[in-house]
Amino acid sequence: MSMSVFRTIRLSLLASLTIASSSAMAQQAPADGLPPIGVQIVARATAPLAAPMSGQLVAFPFRDGDRIEAGKVLARFNCAQQEAIHVRARAELTKREDLLATQTRLKALNAYSKAEFSQAQNDVAVAKAELAVAQTGVDNCQVTAPFDGRVAGVSVRNFQFVQAGAPLIDLIDDGEIELEMVVSSMLLSWLKPGTPVRIHVGETQRDYDARITRVSGKVDAASQTIKVYGVLVGDAPGVLPGMSGVARFASAAR
């Protein structure tokens, strides 16, 4: 699914949440008549990680819901072939460097061939490049976590053979959650970054203080709505990405 299609679906979902919330929770609307606005809770950082190489997994220790730390090895592949290629490339570089050293000594004695000296230099450069390629192959034998967070889904099992590019594991940074909502563009006369808002999360049945952090740079011409974003203020235990709720703005904010 393309990113533009994904954004369109999310925009439609937020708009639907706003409409549904306005109907189902009309009794919670503030005195000035502004209805509740649908809110989607999302992780600020997500990482659907894929296999960097084809091969058999020999270590895949994490399960859905596990917490992980940045830099932790999430998956390790059988790397015997890649390591052997790396050893051979390093040995080839050592041989080429020795030949260049010999040519350098001959040059100092003015008993060398310019063509052979130039060839020795080129051979060393090629050997270094081949070693770098081999090192990349070894590096691809393991997948590490790009940030602290939580596993949000796994697509493979240990000892499974996977193809390069196949989905492995989904990570989310649940320590950095964000609020997304779609509001009428008519609210922009007073709705600014820093505006306080009260969030009711359906799954936890609790209210939380929040504030607006940024406003989209474009109004949807068809619906005359705009996306705004916010963050929760203070601790919010139990609130997870994917949850939804409603936002209520205090009339004093206007």
Report yes or no on 226 lying in a domain.
Answer: yes
Any idea what the CATH number is for the domain that residue 26 is in?
2.40.30.170
Structure tokens at 149: 């967070």
Report yes or no on 102 lying in a domain.
Answer: yes
pLDDT at res. 24: 38
**Lowest-pLDDT range, 14-18, 97-101, 201-205?**
14-18
Give the residue among 225, 207, 229 at the shortest CA–CA distance from 19.
225
> Do residue 56 and residue 149 come from a single domain?
yes
173 vs 50: CA distance, rounded Å: 17
> Do residue 189 and residue 248 come from a single domain?
yes
Number of domains composing the chain: 3
SS3 10: helix
Give Cα separations from 224 to 53, 187, 188 (angstroms).
46, 11, 11
pLDDT at res. 222: 95
Strands (E) in the chain, as ranges, are: 37-43, 46-50, 55-59, 67-68, 73-77, 142-144, 149-154, 161-162, 167-172, 177-184, 196-201, 206-215, 225-232, 244-248
Q: What is the DSSP pairing of strand 196-201 with strand 177-184?
A: unpaired
Report yes or no on 26 lying in a domain.
Answer: yes
Q: CA-based diameter of the chain, in Å?
A: 97
Structure tokens at 252: 């004093």
185 vs 168: CA distance, rounded Å: 40
Q: Does the model's pTM come out above 0.85?
A: no
243 vs 236: CA distance, rounded Å: 12
pLDDT at res. 25: 37
> Do residue 186 and residue 231 come from a single domain?
yes
Report pLDDT digits (tens) over 142-175: 999 999 999 999 999 999 999 999 999 999 998 8
Q: How confident is the model at residue 10 (pLDDT cuts 50, 70, 90)?
A: low
pLDDT at res. 153: 95
> Do residue 53 and residue 32 come from a single domain?
no
Helix axes 114-139, 80-108, angle to 10 degrees: 160
> Do residue 54 and residue 168 come from a single domain?
yes
Report yes or no on 75 lying in a domain.
Answer: no
SS3 37: strand
Whether pLDDT at 7 is above 80: no
> Do residue 65 and residue 159 come from a single domain?
yes
Strand order, beta sheet including 142-144: 142-144, 73-77, 55-59, 161-162
| Residue-wise burial string across 188-219, b where 16 or more C-beta atoms lie within 10 A, e elsewhere | eeebeeebebbbbbeeeeeebebebeebbeee
Report yes or no on 157 lying in a domain.
Answer: yes
| Residue-wise burial string across 6-22, b where 16 or more C-beta atoms lie within 10 A, e elsewhere | eeeeebeebbebbeebb
**Which residues, in sequence order, are bridge partners of residue 184?**
225
Report pLDDT digits (tens) over 128-140: 999 999 999 999 9
> Do residue 85 and residue 135 come from a single domain?
yes
> For residue 249, what are the domain limits?
3-44+176-253
102 vs 118: CA distance, rounded Å: 12
Any idea what the CATH number is for the domain that residue 90 is in?
1.10.287
